[in-house]
Structure 1
Amino acid sequence: MSTLRDLVEEHTNLEPADIEHLHRLAGDWQLMSDLSFADLIMWVALDDGQFLCVAQVRPTTGPTAYQDDQVGRIFGGAEVAHLAIARDQGRIWREGDPVWYGDTPARHEAIPVRRAGSDRVIAVIGRDTNLSTARTPSHLELNYLTTADDLAQMVADGSFPPYRHPGETTSAPRVGDGLIRLDGGGKVTYASPNAQSAYRRLGLTTHLVGEELSAITGRLADDPLEGGESAEALLAALRGEAPPRRELEARGATVLMRALPLMPAGTPIGALVLVRDVTEVRRRDRQLITKDATIREIHHRVKNNLQTVAALLRLQARRVGVPQARAALEESVRRVASIALVHETLSMSSDEAVDFDGIVDRVASAAKEVGAPESRVVMRRTGTFGVLPAEVATPLVMVLNELLQNAVEHAYGPGDEGTVVISAHRFRRQLHVTVADTGFGLPDGFSLEASERLGLQIVRTLATGELRGSIELRRRAEGGTEAVLVVPLSKR
């Protein structure tokens, strides 16, 4: 399915600023659709007089008029005559009899779309209402429809949608969460039941209708500064501005507020305030933050403990007189230190994932440092490992530590020059890792499965067990050895 931008750029000559305005409208028009109880369809005119549908939204408050997706369809002739009138005359079209889509009767309306500061119509919004459940509207529905008509006029004027503030999303609050309508003086003329309930949780004991919402909001807040900012946001909306969303906390409840100016034909007549009780959402957010902090602290302590173990093993190695025992203890120090690296990174992460490239670079640097003093081996990494979950990172760093140690210690003789290359890339939800050197190569008859060396046994066990992947050690055609590791990254 082509996107709005793709369709508009392919079929029209609209300017980038026009396309950006249509994008913002499509990001905020669910509000108008829900208030209208109607489908909204965005049409752009083609050179041959036909119209192309580039976006569509269905109401969550009523039945849709279209069971099929209309995006990408092109219509002409009598079917789009109302769209042509709205575009050519630059006015909202509401005349005409109901039309039928199969067994569904629908009412057509057409709203011209302008950009602020321009009189040119850049698109037309079709507002199509399913009439199959038509009845006498309730008080709530009448207020919804009245507000929807004001927003429709603002679309035609170019003053809706307002510019979005940095960091804001379009997810909440929505019409069904709670709606309040203010008159030009800031008094409540209508409050939906959900909006009234949200304010009751904040401590309001009276009805909202007839009250000055900014004064009530400022008085209810636990924090006077927060209350003053929320009250000022409501007053700004009455002046025709579009303030950022605010959260109001009182008596253990949290309510998210969004205030929108109502100014059809450029005249401020009041404001629309959407409210949502987000008390449970914020409580869970705080719990998650606490858990994340606890997990990071655990990783920090594990890292400290592992470093302590490594220090004790290093101290013991210095006291051992048997060379083989000393070498075994020093290998254990390196293995413990590589695991500590992962926990150190996790202790600074907000989730159970790590940027693995930095860990690999540190492990490679450590492997080179423990080589012979006269070693002239160069470590190099190509490609990127990316972000890996902790359950993959911990065994993978141990595997790479063993492979790099083998390359440094056994691939080259004292004073030999050489290169060890660690390459990584992702393909089809798999991580492919290769550790290649240009050294002596594998001995004749070598078999990874039959090898009794502890390091290689660790590599094989972790690669096929913990990582659920595969590992292969083989000779390179140009000389040297390469280890090929394939690790699946699908959900575990």
Structure 2
Amino acid sequence: MSTLSELLAAHTDLPGHAVDHLQRLVSEWQLLADISFADVLLWVPTAAPARILCVAQCRPTTAPTVIPMDKVGAVVDDDEHPEVAQCFDSGAVERSAARPGVEAGEYVPVADAVPVRVRGRVVGVLTRESAPVSRRPPSLLEAAYRESAAQFGDMIAEGTFPTAAEPGDVNSSPRVGDGFIRLDTAGIVTYASPNAVSAYHRMGLTTDLAGHDLAASTRGLVTDPFDGDEIAAHIGAAVRDAGGRRMEIDARGATVLLRTLALRRADRPLGAVVLVRDVTEVKRRDRALLSKDATIREIHHRVKNNLQTVAALLRLQARRTENGEARTALQESERRVTSIALVHDVLSNSVDEVVDLDEVVDRLLPVMADVGSVSADVAVRRDGALGRFPAERATPLVMVLTELIQNSLEHGFESGASGRVDILAERSAHTLTVTVRDSGRGVPPGFDPRTSGRLGLQIVTTLVDVELGGSIAVAGGPEGGTDATVRVPVGLTRRG
């Protein structure tokens, strides 16, 4: 399904400010559908004459949908939706009555058509399609919802809703079902839904909300008096038609998200709608997760420090050892420990258990050159992105690359020779392929890393087979030298 931006770009010539306004309107989609008890659709005229296009649709959570099929992207004639065509022509709210359907007992939904006006120009039409209203008296909740829905419709027709992006420090926003409060022009609560009352009781309110000044009631509950004054001021500003705001309230151990929306008509304030959501348990879990994340990062930091200490001890021992074979073994062990330490260093600075392999490899290359046992003028570079890998698979993969690169440096070139080693990475949706290509002496035909007898290659084949579930091949390069190619499935856990 195409996005709103794509549909508008493909079928209309609306200016940028009109597109931005429609984007903001669609961001309020669920609010409008819920308080209207209706499916909400957005229509725009197309380049073709007498044709209209549906570019957005939202179903209510407060009532059954009357449009089970998606209409986004559908192009229809004026005759199919006469109220939309009439709304475009008149620039005023149009309403169609329920009429008998094709089969007995069926009714075509009631549809309100509201012009979407931007800078005095009607750029679209919003329809609210619902089942015929029952003759029973509406509940207090239903009456409050419908009254607010009508006023939001008038504001959309005037071009005063939605406003520009609201300032706020929270990314989430409460919905109608979380808690709904209606305020009059004096800031007095005329209706509060049961969920809204429960949220305020969670903050410590011992009385009912209806009939009370919401700003004053909220100020008395907030833990920090300065925050209480600021929140009360924002509620009062919404009542005076000074825009809306999202806020987070901490009161007596409870955390509540609160959003204010000003209501107006023809520059006359009509009060405000306040949405409330109790997020106490969500915030508690978030704090617990943050604490766990901090603990995990601290563990990675300490492991990294311990591994660096081990690497330093191996380096000191290698310098004091006179036996050349023992010195080489100690230097190789130091390099392996250092590569693992780098993975933990990256994890200690990460908010998740995912490693940026490019960062680790780029930091590892100079380390390997420092501990290389062969003096050679060899340039090492990386071409292509390895991407991000889960921590449990990143460590063996880094060790594999370390061994292959060091193997090229130590065994691919004569002492004092010059050349290059390239790490060529190519990643698809399913596989990461990394080739360590050197310009050195090459390998004999039929070379098998599993029977080479080298400890480094034995480590590589074991890690690739057992830990990574991949494959490795070593052969001569296209222009001489050696290609060591590792293929690893992306997202696969270890075998066994």
TM-score of the two chains, using structure 1 as the length reference: 0.96
Distance 2:135 2:486 in 1: 65
Partner residue, 1:438: 439
Distance 2:74 2:346 in 1: 51
- AA aligned opposite 1:189: T
Residues 307-365 of structure 1, C-alpha deviation per residue, up to 9 Å, x if partnerless? 12112222332333322122111110110011000001110111111222121012111
Residues 244 and 326 of structure 1: CA distance in aligned 2, closer, same or farther (over 3 Å): same
Partner residue, 1:30: 30
1:9 CA drift (Å): 1.7
Residues 320 and 133 of structure 1: CA distance in aligned 2, closer, same or farther (over 3 Å): farther
Residues 365 and 135 of structure 1: CA distance in aligned 2, closer, same or farther (over 3 Å): farther
Partner residue, 1:52: 53
Residues 431 and 445 of structure 1: CA distance in aligned 2, closer, same or farther (over 3 Å): closer
Q: From 113, 116, 122, give the equivalent of 2:116.
A: 113
Distance 2:16 2:492 in 1: 40
> What's the C-alpha RMSD, in Å, of the aligned pairs?
1.8
User: Where do residues 395-410 of structure 1 align in structure 2 (5 Å cutoff)?
Assistant: 395-410=396-411
Distance 2:437 2:135 in 1: 73
CA contact (8 A) 1:179 1:191 kept: yes
Distance 1:101 1:181 in 2: 40
1:400 CA drift (Å): 0.9
Instruction: Kindly indicate whether residue 6 of structure 2 is the aligned counterpart of residue 3 of structure 1.
Output: no
CA contact (8 A) 2:42 2:125 kept: yes
Partner residue, 2:14: 14
Instruction: Kindly indicate whether residue 90 of structure 2 is the aligned counterpart of residue 65 of structure 1.
Output: no
SS of residue matched to 1:418: strand
Instruction: Kindly indicate whether residue 368 of structure 2 is the aligned counterpart of residue 367 of structure 1.
Output: yes
Residues 435 and 67 of structure 1: CA distance in aligned 2, closer, same or farther (over 3 Å): same
SS of residue matched to 1:108: strand
1:10 CA drift (Å): 1.6
Instruction: Kindly indicate whether residue 170 of structure 2 is the aligned counterpart of residue 163 of structure 1.
Output: no
Distance 2:439 2:20 in 1: 55
CA contact (8 A) 2:426 2:434 kept: yes
Segment of structure 1 superposing worse, 325-334 or 295-304: 325-334
Distance 1:470 1:134 in 2: 72
CA contact (8 A) 1:153 1:265 kept: no
SS of residue matched to 1:263: strand
1:42 CA drift (Å): 0.5
1:158 CA drift (Å): 1.1
CA contact (8 A) 1:99 1:106 kept: no
Unmatched segments (≥5 aa) in structure 2? none
SS of residue matched to 1:300: helix
1:214 CA drift (Å): 0.6
Partner residue, 2:188: 187
- AA aligned opposite 1:37: F
1:445 CA drift (Å): 4.3
Distance 1:451 1:19 in 2: 65
User: Where do residues 288-437 of structure 1 align in structure 2 (5 Å cutoff)?
Assistant: 288-371=289-372, 374-437=375-438
- AA aligned opposite 2:33: S
Distance 1:263 1:300 in 2: 56
Residues 30 and 295 of structure 1: CA distance in aligned 2, closer, same or farther (over 3 Å): same
1:374 CA drift (Å): 4.1
Identity value in percent: 51
- AA aligned opposite 1:346: L
Segment of structure 1 superposing worse, 319-328 or 263-272: 319-328
Distance 1:98 1:444 in 2: 83
- AA aligned opposite 1:112: P
Residues 410-455 of structure 1, C-alpha deviation per residue, up to 9 Å, x if partnerless? 1111221101001112113211111100110013442112122110
Residues 294 and 101 of structure 1: CA distance in aligned 2, closer, same or farther (over 3 Å): farther
CA contact (8 A) 1:174 1:274 kept: yes
Partner residue, 1:255: 256
CA contact (8 A) 1:65 1:101 kept: no
CA contact (8 A) 1:182 1:190 kept: yes
1:385 CA drift (Å): 1.5
- AA aligned opposite 2:222: A
Residues 181 and 123 of structure 1: CA distance in aligned 2, closer, same or farther (over 3 Å): same
Distance 1:108 1:228 in 2: 43
Distance 2:331 2:201 in 1: 67
Distance 2:207 2:298 in 1: 47
Distance 1:55 1:135 in 2: 32
SS of residue matched to 1:111: strand
CA contact (8 A) 2:436 2:484 kept: yes
Partner residue, 1:208: 209
Distance 2:17 2:487 in 1: 47
Distance 2:123 2:299 in 1: 57
1:169 CA drift (Å): 7.7
User: Where do residues 82-231 of structure 1 align in structure 2 (5 Å cutoff)?
Assistant: 82-98=83-99, 100=101, 103-115=106-118, 118-131=119-132, 135-165=136-166, 171-231=172-232
1:96 CA drift (Å): 3.4
Distance 1:121 1:140 in 2: 32
- AA aligned opposite 2:113: A
Segment of structure 1 superposing worse, 372-381 or 263-272: 372-381
Segment of structure 1 superposing worse, 215-224 or 165-174: 165-174
Segment of structure 1 superposing worse, 452-461 or 305-314: 305-314
CA contact (8 A) 1:368 1:377 kept: no
Residues 236 and 167 of structure 1: CA distance in aligned 2, closer, same or farther (over 3 Å): closer
Residues 199 and 483 of structure 1: CA distance in aligned 2, closer, same or farther (over 3 Å): same
1:164 CA drift (Å): 2.1
Paired residues, number:
490
Residues 92-144 of structure 1, C-alpha deviation per residue, up to 9 Å, x if partnerless? 112434464874541111000012xx111000011101238774321110111
Partner residue, 1:43: 43
SS of residue matched to 1:163: coil
Partner residue, 1:279: 280
Distance 1:77 1:382 in 2: 57
Segment of structure 1 superposing worse, 462-471 or 285-294: 462-471
- AA aligned opposite 1:27: S
1:4 CA drift (Å): 1.5
SS of residue matched to 1:413: coil
CA contact (8 A) 2:199 2:278 kept: yes
- AA aligned opposite 2:353: E
TM-score of the two chains, using structure 2 as the length reference: 0.95
Residues 73 and 445 of structure 1: CA distance in aligned 2, closer, same or farther (over 3 Å): closer
Residues 168-210 of structure 1, C-alpha deviation per residue, up to 9 Å, x if partnerless? 7885300000000111111111101110111011111111111
Distance 1:243 1:261 in 2: 6
Segment of structure 1 superposing worse, 374-383 or 309-318: 309-318
CA contact (8 A) 2:222 2:250 kept: yes
